[in-house]
């Protein structure tokens, strides 16, 4: 009966791309102000040439909308989709799979306390009753809640104001909030007005994994395995080229991400682009991600944000490592 929905949705203009049948174009979601190594291949049209397709790169400012766009059929692959939106979407029944890790970035996603607030991790309890601007339902939000829990702060008593990444940094700049959380370019701006509550390294030490994934709609994956494999191969090549000599690509990536040179280099230095071999280990694609997915979902249930999580076995099925297995 999905046909019923389609026939209503098309006239309503909900479905823009009707090209799923004969694949001539590939729609890929990515983040602005989030310079990833494969953006070299994006701007140099390497993807288009090697796959023989027209690749449409569409920018988003949050992973939740990426997941929604995949559910609606407008996006085929989301490169660097936040892991938390991925898990939340999957838990709600969106048919999406993780085919790889885009990058890890503990230091590129964080909460910054305003310099006038006088709050550090030692007296973090003072955050109760104060305002904190943060995106909701994404990696930043998850990190915030986990950090608060670790520091013994009751998250229910903190006034968390749901805002976009960019708005959170504006609120901190104006001094409207005691703390703001964000990622990428916004985080770079936030740091001008204060200090991070916990460093990324400290957060990793308490068991927080901070990474983005490559997400593909299950249907698309089934139908166009080859395309997805090619996409991952080109990404792998771009990552390897970058890892060998990063400085060569700073200029291109600064332009591609729409960030200033200094911010780009700062952000890039805090990214790790895992190679195929590193991803195909128990820490990541062969068990770590599946386990972490269950942890994330259970944590959100515990926080009362979602009604229920899926079973361990279901989260195992969320990850498909076989594509990376075919990448050379």
Partner 1 sequence: MRKILDKLGFTNTNTERKTVTFGDASVVSAPGGRGWTWLSVGFFIILWCLASIFEWINPIFWPPIGAVWEQFVFIFTEGYRNFTLLEHIGLSLYRVLMGFFIGCLVGIPLGFALALSRVMNRLFDPIVEFFRPMPPLALIPLVILWLGIGESAKIFLLFLAAVWIMALATRSGALATKISKIHAAYTLNANKKQILFRVILPNALPEIFTGMRVCMGVCWGTVVAAELVAAEAGVGMMIMVASKFLSTDIVVLGIILIGVVAYAIDVVMRYLEAKLIPWRGKS
Q: Name which of 63, 95, 61, 57 is nearest 82 in CA terms.
A: 63
**Per CB under 8 A, does 161 bind partner 1?**
yes
Query: Judged by CB under 8 A, does residue 67 bind partner 1?
Result: yes
- 61-89 burial, b at 16+ Cβ within 10 Å, e below that, comes to bbbbebbbbbbebbbbbbbbbbbbbbbbb
- The answer to the question of residue 174 lying near partner 1 (CB under 8 A) is yes
| Residue 83 DSSP code | H
SS3 289: helix
Dihedral, 229, 322, 70, 188 alpha carbons, nearest 10: -80
Q: Which residues have CB under 8 Å from 174's CB, separation 6+?
A: none
Nearer to partner 1, 86 or 233 (CB): 86
Is 170 a binder of partner 1 (CB under 8 A)?
yes
64 lines the binding site for partner 1 (CB under 8 A): yes
Using CB under 8 A as the binding rule, whether residue 92 contacts partner 1 is answered as yes
Which residue, 136 or 265, is less far from partner 1 as judged by CB? Answer: 136
Stretch that binds partner 1, among 52-60, 89-97, 197-205, 276-284 (CB under 8 A): 89-97
| Count, residues near partner 1 per rule CB under 8 A | 35
Among 68, 120, 199, 272, binds partner 1 (CB under 8 A): 68
What is the DSSP secondary-structure string of 170-206? HHHHHT-SSEEEEEHHHHHHHGGGEEESS-HHHHHHT
Residue 138 is a binding residue for partner 1 (CB under 8 A): yes
Enumerate binding residues for partner 1 (CB under 8 A): 1-2, 4-5, 62, 64, 67-68, 71, 85, 88-89, 92-94, 131, 133, 136-138, 156, 159, 161-164, 167-168, 170-171, 174, 176-177, 305-306
């Amino acid at each position: 009966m999905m046909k019923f929905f389609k026939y209503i949705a098309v006239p309503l203009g909900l479905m823009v791309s009707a090209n799923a049948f004969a694949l001539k174009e590939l729609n890929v979601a990515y983040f602005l102000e989030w310079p990833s190594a494969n953006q070299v291949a994006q701007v140099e049209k390497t993807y288009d040439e090697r796959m023989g397709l027209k690749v449409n790169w569409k920018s988003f400012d949050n992973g939740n909308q990426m997941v929604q766009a995949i559910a609606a059929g407008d996006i085929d692959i989301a490169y660097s989709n936040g892991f938390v939106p991925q898990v939340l979407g999957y838990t709600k029944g969106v048919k999406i799979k993780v085919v790889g890790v885009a990058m890890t970035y503990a230091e590129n996603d964080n909460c910054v306390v305003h310099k006038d607030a006088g709050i550090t991790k030692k007296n973090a309890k003072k955050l109760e009753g104060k305002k904190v601007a943060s995106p909701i339902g994404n990696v930043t939000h998850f990190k915030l809640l986990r950090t608060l829990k670790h520091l013994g702060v009751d998250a229910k008593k903190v006034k968390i104001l749901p805002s976009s990444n960019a708005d959170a940094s504006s609120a901190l700049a104006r001094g409207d909030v005691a703390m703001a959380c964000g990622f990428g370019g916004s985080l770079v701006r936030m740091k001008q007005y204060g200090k991070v509550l916990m460093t990324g390294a400290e957060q990793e030490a308490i068991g927080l994994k901070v990474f983005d994934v490559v997400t593909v709609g299950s249907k698309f994956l089934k139908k166009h395995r080859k395309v997805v494999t090619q996409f991952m191969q080109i990404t792998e090549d771009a990552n390897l080229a970058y890892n060998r000599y990063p400085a060569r690509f700073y200029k291109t990536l600064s332009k591609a991400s729409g960030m200033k040179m200094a911010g780009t280099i700062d952000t890039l230095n805090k990214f790790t682009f895992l190679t195929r071999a590193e991803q195909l280990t128990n820490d990541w694609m062969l068990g770590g991600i599946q386990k972490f997915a269950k942890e994330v979902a259970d944590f959100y249930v515990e926080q009362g944000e979602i009604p229920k999580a899926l079973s361990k076995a279901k989260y195992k099925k969320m990850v498909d490592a076989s594509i990376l297995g075919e990448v050379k």
